[in-house]
């Protein structure tokens, strides 16, 4: 819906709009920085990590992180709550979306309790979806050790559409980063926002099957540096400078969730950890102002961190709108013998119709280039990308549904990216993004094998037939084709008409 609104607003803004409302003066804003991990080494979290992991900044070892894959909804929420519950010195939290639903309020409650313990809390939230949760943030902001800043805020307040109309170029750029760091000892980075859609999927209609990494070790300090860069940037505005607290506080909702959480040490001990070499990749916050140099963009950093694939490249992206350059690059890899496979959403599992239209028109080009193309079926269960112990004791029940939101790619079964970056023009050119590139044969092999084993059964494979027409093949668990569709599955004629119409519009740069 947001992207549809942005496109309509762009068309309207071409006609002309009044001048934009001015943003507050930041000259009195105080800079602040992450607490050094040396100063938090004796916290409960720091001590636990030191005992459990031998991950040190050893010049003779490339291992600089321990990572735990959070590819299912329940443990992802549990991990966040456990870290916040055990925080002693600091919590830095950065998100694109924060809903005012059960899980959103749960995390705010946990942050409030941390503030009451004397923990310093810094919350950095993109302003695009902040409206509903803002009253809760104002309540949290009452604590002297809590600071809340909104990234790239809309002006005037309470008039999002007007903000787009009057300052579209700036307002159209959003902070899409997602991270949570506690005591500068542990961080969660990945694709999930804060909301029931991402955590309590038994209570919603759609699961965004997603992926995060919980990281410990020296890499956490690099994540904190990225947070500080955004926190102290020219686009981060203290909440109290933008608006006054509401006259009436939101109704207090208290969740007695602590007894249902496992002990932190138990959670860590029962998890499957990988010792990896990790690199943080992110955009400079100046990208939000349109001032970032090419070398400050995440796309440039991908080229530095990743060697060219030699054998295999597996891409998972919910929003996949390849540029001509990307299609040519993937085709060149195929010509050199690289197995390139892409998993994205089918129309029935995509939550943004405009994005699907931007992708659909490139399907034939991708297939002609030799790329294998899969679209997640709406009847598929969420696919864990790594195997988890069957006896995990998690505090919330859930029911799996289908919609892809994970953003990851696996190269030659030893390099993996997990983060917020979609393969679309918006991630490449407009939004800021954050992720981890990890080097680990164990993790790469596990994720690649799970992808290859499960994707053909859980997704349609899109192919070109002898008449150069698209077909969608559905397979059973044994890999046998059980159905062939000659029109896009689970779409009506009107939906296909709209997809075709939107495909004709020159709106790819906005998608």
Q: Are 433 and 427 in contact (CB under 8 A)?
A: yes
Give the list of residues 6+ apart from residue 330 with CB closer than 8 angstroms, or none.
313, 322, 340, 366, 369, 370, 371
Q: Is 183 a catalytic residue?
A: yes
Three-state SS at 294: helix
**8-state DSSP, 79:** H
36 catalytic? Reply is: no
Active site residue 277: no
Task: List, as one string, the DSSP characters of 172-183.
Answer: T--B---EEEET
Angle, helix 353-360 to helix 493-504, in steps of 10 degrees:
70
Cα separation of 441 and 426, whole Å? 31
| Strand stretches in 339-456, DSSP E | 339-345, 372-376, 408-411, 415-419, 434-439
Q: Can 176 be counted among the known catalytic residues? A: yes
Catalytic residue among 405, 424, 458, 508: 405
Integer distance in angstroms from the first to the last C-alpha of the chain? 11
215 near 437, Cβ under 8 Å?
no
Tokens of 333: 């890899």
Q: 3-state class of 449 per DSSP?
A: helix
126 is catalytic: no
In the numeric block, the tokens 């950093």 are attached to 301
Please answer whether residues 32 and 122 qualify as being in contact, where contact means their C-beta atoms are separated by less than 8 angstroms: yes
Nearby residues of 240 by Cβ (< 8 Å), 6 or more positions away: 141
Residue 86, exposed/middle/buried by CB under 10 A (0-12, 13-18, 19+)?
buried
Query: Cα torsion for 220, 183, 178, 229, to the nearest 10°?
Result: -70
Catalytic residue among 183, 212, 424, 508: 183
Beta strands 120-126 and 90-95, pairing class: parallel
Residue 335 dihedral angles phi and psi, to the nearest 5°: -60, -30
Q: Are 322 and 366 in contact (CB under 8 A)?
A: yes
Of 178, 287, 356, 362, which is the active-site residue?
Answer: 178
Bridge partners, residue 418, by sequence: 408, 436
Distance CA 436, CA 408 (A): 10
- Of 407, 424, 458, 508, which is the active-site residue? 407
Residue 96 to residue 495: CA distance in whole angstroms: 29
Structure tokens at 486: 């000659």
**Tokens matching residue 211:** 């992926």
Residue in the block written with tokens 């170029």: 169
Q: How far is CA 194 from the centre of its chain?
A: 10
Which of these is catalytic: 100, 101, 283, 412?
412
What residues are annotated to the active site?
176, 178, 183, 405, 407, 412
């Amino acid at each position: 819906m947001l992207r549809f609104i942005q496109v309509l607003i762009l068309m309207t803004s071409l006609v002309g709009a009044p001048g934009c409302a001015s943003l507050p003066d930041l000259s009195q804003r105080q800079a602040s920085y992450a607490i050094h991990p040396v100063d938090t080494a004796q916290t409960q979290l720091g001590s636990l990590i030191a005992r459990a992991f031998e991950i040190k900044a050893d010049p003779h070892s490339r291992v600089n992180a321990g990572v735990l894959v959070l590819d299912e909804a329940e443990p992802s929420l549990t991990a966040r709550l456990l870290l916040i519950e055990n925080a002693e010195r600091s919590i830095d939290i950065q998100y694109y979306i924060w809903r005012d639903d059960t899980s959103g309020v749960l995390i705010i409650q946990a942050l409030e309790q941390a503030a009451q313990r004397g923990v310093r809390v810094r919350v950095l939230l993109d302003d695009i979806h902040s409206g509903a949760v803002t009253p809760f943030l104002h309540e949290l902001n009452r604590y002297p050790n809590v600071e809340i800043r909104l990234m790239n805020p809309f002006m005037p307040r309470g008039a999002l559409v007007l903000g787009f109309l009057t300052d579209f170029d700036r307002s159209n750029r959003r902070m899409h980063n997602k991270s949570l760091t506690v005591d500068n000892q542990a961080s969660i980075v990945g694709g999930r926002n804060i909301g029931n859609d991402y955590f309590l999927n038994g209570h919603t209609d759609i699961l965004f099957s997603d992926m995060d990494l919980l990281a410990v070790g020296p890499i956490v300090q690099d994540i904190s540096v990225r947070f500080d860069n955004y926190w102290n940037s020219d686009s981060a505005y203290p909440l109290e400078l933008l608006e006054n607290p509401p006259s009436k506080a939101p109704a207090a909702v208290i969740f007695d969730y602590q007894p249902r959480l496992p002990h932190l040490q138990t959670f860590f001990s029962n998890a499957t950890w990988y010792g990896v070499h990790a690199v943080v990749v992110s955009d400079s916050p100046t990208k939000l102002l349109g001032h970032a140099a090419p070398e400050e963009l995440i796309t440039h950093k991908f080229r530095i961190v990743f060697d060219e694939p030699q054998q295999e490249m597996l891409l998972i992206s919910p929003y996949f709108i390849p540029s001509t350059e990307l299609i040519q690059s993937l085709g060149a890899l195929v010509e050199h013998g690289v197995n390139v496979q892409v998993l994205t959403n089918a129309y029935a599992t995509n939550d943004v119709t405009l994005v699907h239209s931007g992708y659909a028109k490139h399907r034939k080009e991708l297939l002609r280039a030799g790329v294998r193309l899969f679209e997640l079926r709406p009847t598929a269960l969420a696919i864990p990308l790594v195997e988890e112990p069957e006896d995990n004791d998690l505090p919330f029940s859930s029911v799996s549904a289908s919609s892809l939101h994970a953003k990851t790619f696996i190269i030659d079964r030893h390099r993996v990216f997990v983060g917020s970056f979609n393969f679309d023009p918006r991630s490449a050119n407009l939004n800021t993004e954050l992720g981890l590139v990890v080097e680990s044969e164990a993790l790469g092999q596990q994720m690649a094998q799970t992808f290859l084993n499960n994707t053909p059964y859980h997704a349609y494979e899109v192919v070109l037939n002898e008449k150069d027409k698209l077909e969608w093949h559905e397979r059973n668990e044994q890999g046998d084709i059980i159905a062939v569709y000659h029109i896009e599955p689970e779409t009506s004629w009107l939906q296909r008409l709209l997809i075709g119409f939107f495909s004709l519009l020159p709106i790819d740069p906005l998608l």
